Amino acid sequence: MGNTVGTFNDDEVKHLSEEDREKLKQHTVEQLQTNQEIRELMKTNPKLFTGIQEVRDILKKQLAPVLQGMPPKS
């Protein structure tokens, strides 16, 4: 997960099932596409958006509740 979107590291998502990791990835993509704060940063900084620390910080803040609400894999 961490390698895919640069938001959470592997230790932070190791308790999630593959299905839950995919759901988290979908939420991440949705945030990247719709979050106004991220869109503004992307306009001012054309480098790969997951390489921008501010974008990763915003994603982590927005997605933390989603991650916390997911059950551990069984």
In the predicted structure, residue 2 carries a pLDDT above the cut 50: no
Q: How much is the pTM?
A: 0.58
List pLDDT tens digits, range 25-36.
Answer: 888 888 878 888
Q: What is the rounded CA–CA span in Å between residue 74 and residue 57?
A: 29
Please provide the average confidence, as pLDDT, over all residues in the chain.
Answer: 76
Residue 73 near residue 23, CB atoms below 8 Å: no
